Each structure stands twice: as C-alpha cells, then as structure tokens.
C-alpha cells in the first residue's frame, strides 16, 4: 500500500489536464454565451462532466500527510460549489431566465458590492442587536433553569417531557405576539429568539448534567465534595458537549427567529424586513444578496461556536487527536 506514492505523478498530470480542459471548455462556453443554442448546452454539459471527473479524481486521492488531507477536504467541496455556481450562471444567462425568477450569481455579487452599507445596517439591526441579545438571554435563562431544575428530581421528571415537546413545536408562531408586546423594534425580535433558544438549551443542559458516570460521582463523594463542588468540577465539564450542542443548534434557530419575526412588523431596517420588502418590489437580486449574508452569518457563527467547543471540550473523544 505504502509502496506507490499517492498521488502518483501520473494522477497529478491527469488532474492538471482535466482541470485545464474544464477551464478551456468554460471559457468557450462563456464566449458563445451571447449566441446561445445547442453549442452552449453541449459545452455546459461537457464542463459539468469534466468538473465531475476532476472532483472524482480528487476524491480518490488518499494523501498521507494531515495538512494535505485537510486541504483536500476543503478543496473538493469548494470545487463542487464553484461548479454549481458556474453552471447556474451559464444556465440562467444561456436560457435567458428573467432575473426576477433567478438572478445569475454575478448579478447577486454586484448587488452585494453595490449595497454594502444597506446590508451592513440590516446586519447591525438583526444580528448585532436582536440575535445577540436574544441568544445570550435565551441560552443563559435555559442554562440557569436547568441548574435549578437539576436540584429536584421531581421537577426534572415534570419539566423535561414538557420542554422536550416544546422544542418540537413551531415556536416561531409566537412572533406576532411578541411584536404586539414589545413593539416593532429589535426588542420584540430578541424576545422571539429568547423563547426559541430557551428550550433546546434547557433540555440539553439537563441531559448533560446527567452525563457524568457513576464512578466519577462516587469518586467526588469519596473526596467529600459538596454538591456545588461536584457540579463545578465534574458535572459541568462533563455536560459541556451537550451544552455546546445546544449552543450550535441555537445559532441557526436564533437567526431564523429574528428574520421571520421581522416579517410580522419592523422599522424600515433589518434582514427580514429587507427580504419581504424587496420581494414585494420583485427585486430578487437584493433578496439573494440578503440571503447570502444570512448564510454567511449562520455558518460563521456556527463555526465560531464549534471552534470554541474544540477549545473547551479538548478532552472529548470526538475532538481528541491520537
């Protein structure tokens, strides 16, 4: 197995050739974009086939070094995504799809570049005010409630099934009520986020606090640890994977909550407001720009929490390297 160097020079040459061919076909496709017709279709299909072959060839490589493997794990999906974007661009422009229906990625990019200040204002209103405040309050409240409930098995048995049910319910429906109670500005959106993030945090923390094994608990007892000490030194650290799981679920939920709550009434700024207003004007590139920002914010905040998780739960088998 280890005799042949992987990737072999022949594979590398093959890869390079396929990549260059794909680029060439792509350039040809863009060149005939104006005339359209069968030639474009054939070129687009050819490009797709070549890109697929390139991805397949890359997937087959098993590099030995860790760095190369990481690079490949990023490169392959990136290549796949870029292929999809290029095909989207070719299809939309080649078939002359009206931009209202589906704008080409280039138009979306131009819109993003042209309206950065507007997008930034929406980002500040929705994410920095509503989502952050609601996320912190909702997760904090869920965490503290879990710590309190943990002291009483009776409460745990009573509250946990209800909280489990609540996290499956369409809580987003409280948005109109919160808008009525807290007004149009960001505080009502933060309230929706609080309600949405509370139950996943509660359920996961309670489950996490039970995660420490009986051996470790007995050890704490032999040390004569008080309940507070054993909570701080054993059970909370053991609960961290669960708590981070809730934190990760909640990053997406919080964004959804804030954006959807804005559909029920806002001042004239905010990502949800912009989406519903621009849709009314059939300005789809702007909507896509806003969605791109939302997607970026969602993945980045998820990534941030995941990064923090790796730091905090370095002892966990899923994080540990060995």
Partner 1 sequence: MTEAGAPIAEPGAGIGYQGPLRRLGTRLAAGRTVPILTVLAAIVVLWYAAAIGMNFATETAKLDRAAAPYTLADTIAATWGSERPILPAPHQIVVELYTSTVLVRPSSPRSLLFHAWVTLSSTLLGFVLGTLLGVALAIGILHSRTLDKSLMPWIITSQTIPILAIAPMIIVVLNAVGVQGLLPKAFISTYLSFFPVTVGMVKGLRSPDRMLIDLMHTYSASRSQTLVKLRWPASMPFLFTSMKVGVAAALVGAIVGELPTGAVAGLGARLLAGSYYGQTIQIWSALFAAAFMAGILVWLVGLAETASLKRMGAKR
Radius of gyration of the chain (CA): 26
Q: Between 100 and 129, how does the x/- string for binding to partner 1 read (CB under 8 A)?
A: xxx---------------------------
Distance of closest approach, residue 289 Cβ to partner 1, in angstroms: 12
If binding is defined by CB under 8 A, does position 173 make contact with partner 1? yes
Determine which residue in the list 22, 179, 191, 195 makes contact with partner 1, applying CB under 8 A. 179
Determine which residue in the list 161, 183, 213, 227 makes contact with partner 1, applying CB under 8 A. 161
* Nearest to partner 1 of 170, 224 (CB atom): 170
Alpha-carbon span 308 to 319, nearest angstrom: 12
What residues have CB less than 8 Å from 305, skipping those under 6 apart? 244, 247, 248, 251
* Nearest to partner 1 of 144, 295 (CB atom): 295
If binding is defined by CB under 8 A, does position 56 make contact with partner 1? yes
If binding is defined by CB under 8 A, does position 66 make contact with partner 1? no
Alpha-carbon span 31 to 225, nearest angstrom: 75
* Nearest to partner 1 of 277, 312 (CB atom): 277
Alpha-carbon span 192 to 171, nearest angstrom: 8
Residue with tokens 């993030």: 197
If binding is defined by CB under 8 A, does position 59 make contact with partner 1? yes
If binding is defined by CB under 8 A, does position 250 make contact with partner 1? no
Size of the site for partner 1 (CB under 8 A): 64
Stretch that binds partner 1, among 8-16, 73-81, 212-220, 239-247 (CB under 8 A): 73-81
Distance of closest approach, residue 259 Cβ to partner 1, in angstroms: 5
Determine which residue in the list 13, 169, 219, 319 makes contact with partner 1, applying CB under 8 A. 169
* Nearest to partner 1 of 18, 301 (CB atom): 301
Applying CB under 8 A, which residues contact partner 1? 52, 55-56, 58-60, 73, 76-77, 79-81, 100-102, 154-159, 161-162, 165, 168-170, 172-177, 179-181, 251-252, 255-256, 259-260, 263-265, 271-272, 275-276, 279-280, 282, 284, 287-288, 290-291, 294-295, 298-299, 301-303
């Amino acid at each position: 197995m280890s005799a042949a160097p992987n990737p072999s020079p022949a594979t590398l040459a093959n890869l390079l050739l396929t990549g260059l061919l794909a680029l060439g076909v792509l350039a040809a496709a863009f060149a005939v974009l104006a005339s359209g017709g069968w030639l474009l279709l054939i070129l687009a299909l050819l490009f797709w086939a070549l890109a697929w072959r390139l991805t397949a060839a890359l997937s087959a490589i098993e590099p030995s070094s860790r760095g190369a493997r990481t690079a490949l794990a990023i490169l392959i999906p990136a290549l796949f995504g870029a292929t999809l974007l290029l095909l989207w661009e070719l299809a939309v422009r080649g078939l002359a799809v009206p931009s209202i229906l589906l704008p080409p990625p280039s138009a979306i990019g131009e819109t993003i570049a042209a309206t950065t200040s507007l997008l930034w204002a929406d980002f500040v209103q929705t994410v920095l005010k509503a989502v952050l405040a609601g996320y912190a309050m909702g997760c904090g409240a869920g965490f503290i409630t879990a710590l309190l409930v943990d002291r009483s098995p009776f409460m745990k048995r009573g509250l946990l099934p209800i909280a489990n049910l609540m996290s499956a319910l369409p809580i987003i429906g409280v948005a109109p009520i919160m808008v009525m109670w807290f007004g149009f500005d960001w505080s009502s959106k933060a309230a929706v986020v609080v309600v949405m993030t509370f139950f996943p945090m509660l359920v996961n923390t309670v489950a996490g606090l039970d995660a420490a094994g009986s051996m470790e608990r007995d050890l704490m007892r032999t040390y004569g640890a008080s309940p507070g000490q054993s909570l701080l030194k054993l059970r909370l650290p053991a609960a961290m994977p669960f708590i981070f799981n809730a934190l990760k679920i909640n990053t997406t939920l919080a964004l959804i909550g804030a954006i959807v709550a804005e559909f029920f009434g806002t001042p004239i700024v905010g990502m949800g407001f912009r989406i519903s207003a621009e849709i009314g004007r059939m300005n789809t590139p702007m909507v896509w720009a806003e969605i791109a920002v939302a997607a970026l914010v969602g993945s980045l905040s998820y990534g941030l929490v995941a990064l923090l998780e790796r730091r905090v739960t370095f002892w966990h088998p899923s994080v540990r390297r060995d």
